[in-house]
Amino acid sequence: MFSSKYRGEAILLFVTLIWGATFAIIKNALVSISPMMFISFRFGFALLLLLPFWGKIKKHFPKELLIPGIILGLSYLFGFAAQTAGLKFTSATKSAFITGTFILYIPLFQLLMEKRAPGKGSIIGVILVLSGLIILSGKGNSLFAIFSEIGSGFNTGDFLTMLCAFNYGFYVVYLDKVTKKFDFLPLVFMQVAVTAVGSVLFAFLFNLTGIETPSFVFNEKVIFALLYTAVLSTILTTTLQTKYQKTTTPTRAGIIFSFEPIFATIIAFFTLHEKISNFGLLGCFLIFSGLLASELIDKREV
């Protein structure tokens, strides 16, 4: 029988699996809808689904939670907006790698915000995961080809994606901090509500600045993607992450979340018929080794 810590980490791995499946689903939908419009509809629909539960949620909503909830929601929103805007100016390969570097920022924020240094196993795990992400993010068949693409000229998109990674490192640690003080239900509501309202504002802003021209056609692929992402990869995953992330350390949670590209690669192989190279398999192996290192070397303390 799982201890609460192992059960929590297993649930976070399940959350990561759901995230991984969104890659193929959203990729198919974005042929018919612009990214920020998709995010606006996704979180708007998720908010509508949560509104009937407001009566129950507000019973666990103390005034002290308002500011932390807004901060958490803004961080949630900014991550989506920065990554979406960044993809306009940089390659998918560089975006995937730079986003994955959030794993480097978690130990820093953990030290600054919680006065707690990561264990030796977590540090080794971060190094292995980062190495795996470099290889898995590249589409080349050699290390030279991978590093050539990732190391090509730094641009606006790379900077925005770097801000996204930095923000997500903060988000993971701040979530750990606030969920130990407040009930998870109102925190889930605040994240979805702030992102729903903010994504609409970002859609207008992106249109005004020329980053993105809003467009959408509701077809089967778009409707399925909206249903999947609103219900499963927004409401369900946000609820599970907010409730169970506190059962482990932020750094180990970050290592678990790094499995997202592995799941995305496997699902894309079966649904989009994308090939997995030998280098891709090596990247998956290194990420998996990183999780094992953090589990086996560090003591089971949270």
Nearest partner of 72 among 247, 157, 198, 260, judged by Cα: 198
Q: 3-state DSSP call for residue 216?
A: strand
Q: Once rounded to an integer, what is the mean pLDDT over residues 190-198? A: 95
- Euclidean distance between CA atoms 65 and 16, whole angstroms: 27
How much of the chain is in helix, strand and coil states, percent to nearest 5?
80, 0, 20
186 is written with which tokens?
Answer: 């109102």
> Quick check: 234 pLDDT over 90?
yes
Query: Over the stretch 264-296, which tens digit does the pLDDT of each residue have?
Result: 777 777 776 667 677 777 878 888 888 888 777
* 299 band by pLDDT with thresholds 50, 70 and 90: low
pLDDT tens, position by position, 133-166: 777 766 555 555 555 655 556 678 888 888 998 9
**What's the pLDDT at 222?**
92
Q: Which of 268, 49, 255 is nearest to 133 (CA)?
A: 255
Short-list 102, 115, 133, CA closest to 254: 102
Say how far apart CA 240 and CA 114 lie, in whole Å: 22
The domain ranges of the chain are 4-297
Helices (H) and strands (E) in the chain, counts: 15, 0
pLDDT tens sequence across 30-49: 889 888 899 999 999 999 99
Residue pLDDT, tens place only, 74-111: 999 998 888 877 777 776 656 767 777 888 889 889 98
Give me the pLDDT at residue 1, please: 47
